Homo-oligomer: A and B are copies of this chain.
Amino acid sequence: MVFLIDHLTVKKTRTTITDIADQLGISPATVSRSLHDHPAISKKTKKAVVRLARKLNYQPNQLALNLLQKKTNTIGVIVPEITSYFFSSIINGIQDLVNPLEVNMIIGQSNESYKEEKKIIQSFMSINVDGFLISPSSKTRRFDHLNAIRESNIPLVIFDRDCEGIEADKVFVDEYNGAFQAVEHLIKSGCKRIAHIAGPNTLSTSRHRQMAYEDALTKHGIKIHADYIVNCKGFAPKHGISPTRHLLALDKRPDAIFAINDGVAIGAMFVIKEAGIKIPQDISIIGFDDDPHSCYFKPSLSTVWQPTYELGMLSARLLMKRINSKASDPKFRVETLFPELIVRGSSL
């Protein structure tokens, strides 16, 4: 009778290794070994343990393991934001690499704020993530928070946006190459007055694209006009509006615009069409990122595709490698992936 009641009530708590040991009249250590294919264990006991474990639906308690191994099998991913296709597809890549490894991922959004970024890092460190995957915010100029990670010997991979001066594994896209292709394409299609809507120049990505823009013009003997370079305050369509208005109001209106990304390019196209100007006859447009919406506009938007998913995968792969190698190899890897020009209707 007592047994029966016991059986019914005790069940509240998950079965542990000790439960199994008790029921089998053996020690927890033996159970542990049986469950881990330890060589020195008799077939018989092992079988019994495995059977009972299955019957009782035994699940190892991760929390105990975490404490024991000082490991959480969790990595922290920090991105500026999650609502853009660019970063969310990078996250997909990370997740797909990390999931089969039974590693979890927690995501933090800096919202392009240094303070937020720092807070997230502290929070993630306090819960003992095994490693960090970070694409820094556009406002991040001080790197004390990243150095704190390095000093704690927590593996760190920086992706997409560079932090010069921080030693870490890094994975980038060759922005320069992509932007150069884009601008050269505009030049070859006959455009003479090519404008650039540039991103915040705290970002390595923005700087590299602008550099490529300038270099491409120079290479083809086109003078760089400061008037034709305007900055935008963000990466959404709305951020393309006023820079474009500004460009259209110029004395010598540009005949092409290379926008920092598709979001901004979409805003630009909107303004241009509104003004009754024809794309691409009067103005060609090209963006960056290949947002999934871009090919459904009229005209469809020319752009530079980036291997976002692969970027996520590769970054995660480097991180996992770092986590699983005990030796603190001082050699950091810097990997570069290649973008691809996609010509559509918004350019000739």
Contact yes or no, A95 B109, CB < 8 A: yes
Q: A62-B128, A67-B66, A128-B62 are in contact. Are A266 and B296 (CB under 8 A)?
A: yes
The A64-101 residues at the B interface (CB cut-off 8 A) are: 64, 66-67, 70, 72-74, 82-83, 85, 88-89, 91-92, 95
A126 at interface by CB-CB < 8 Å: yes
A270 at interface by CB-CB < 8 Å: yes
A26 at interface by CB-CB < 8 Å: no
A281 at interface by CB-CB < 8 Å: no
Contact yes or no, B70 A63, CB < 8 A: yes
**Cα–Cα, bound, A72→B82 (Å):** 24
- Neighbour of A127 across the interface among B62, B123, B236, B266, CB < 8 A: B62
Contact yes or no, A83 B72, CB < 8 A: no
Q: How far is the CB of A101 from chain B (nearest CB, A)?
A: 11
Q: How far is the CB of A206 from chain B (nearest CB, A)?
A: 21
A237 at interface by CB-CB < 8 Å: yes
A221 at interface by CB-CB < 8 Å: no
Q: How many residues of A contact B (CB 8 A)?
A: 43
A297 at interface by CB-CB < 8 Å: yes
In the complex, chain B residues whose CB is within 8 Å of the CB of A106: 74, 104-106
- Neighbour of A66 across the interface among B66, B70, B109, CB < 8 A: B66
A218 at interface by CB-CB < 8 Å: no
- Neighbour of A83 across the interface among B63, B85, B270, CB < 8 A: B85
**Cα–Cα, bound, A83→B298 (Å):** 23
Contact yes or no, A107 B109, CB < 8 A: no
Contact yes or no, B292 A237, CB < 8 A: yes
Q: How far is the CB of A49 from chain B (nearest CB, A)?
A: 19
In the complex, chain B residues whose CB is within 8 Å of the CB of A66: 63, 66-67
Q: How far is the CB of A280 from chain B (nearest CB, A)?
A: 15
A273 at interface by CB-CB < 8 Å: yes
The residue of chain B having its C-beta at the shortest distance from the C-beta of A270 within the complex is: B296
The residue of chain B having its C-beta at the shortest distance from the C-beta of A60 within the complex is: B126
The A244-271 residues at the B interface (CB cut-off 8 A) are: 266-267, 269-270
The residue of chain B having its C-beta at the shortest distance from the C-beta of A102 within the complex is: B123
A192 at interface by CB-CB < 8 Å: no
Contact yes or no, B298 A273, CB < 8 A: yes
**Cα–Cα, bound, A60→B122 (Å):** 13
Contact yes or no, B266 A236, CB < 8 A: no
A150 at interface by CB-CB < 8 Å: no
5 closest Cβ pairs, A-B complex: A83-B88, A63-B67, A270-B296, A63-B66, A293-B293
Given contacts A63-B70, A83-B92, A237-B293, 10 further A-B contacts (CB under 8 A): A63-B63, A63-B66, A64-B67, A82-B91, A83-B292, A95-B109, A104-B127, A236-B292, A237-B292, A267-B296
Instruction: Give 27 pairs: A residue, B residue, CB < 8 Å, sorted on A.
Output: A59-B126, A60-B126, A61-B67, A61-B128, A62-B126, A62-B127, A63-B67, A63-B72, A66-B67, A73-B127, A74-B106, A82-B82, A88-B88, A92-B109, A95-B109, A104-B127, A105-B107, A107-B107, A236-B292, A237-B292, A237-B293, A266-B293, A267-B296, A270-B296, A270-B298, A296-B297, A298-B298
Which residues of A come within 8 Å of B, CB atoms?
59-64, 66-67, 70, 72-74, 82-83, 85, 88-89, 91-92, 95, 102, 104-107, 109, 123, 125-128, 236-237, 266-267, 269-270, 273, 292-293, 296-298
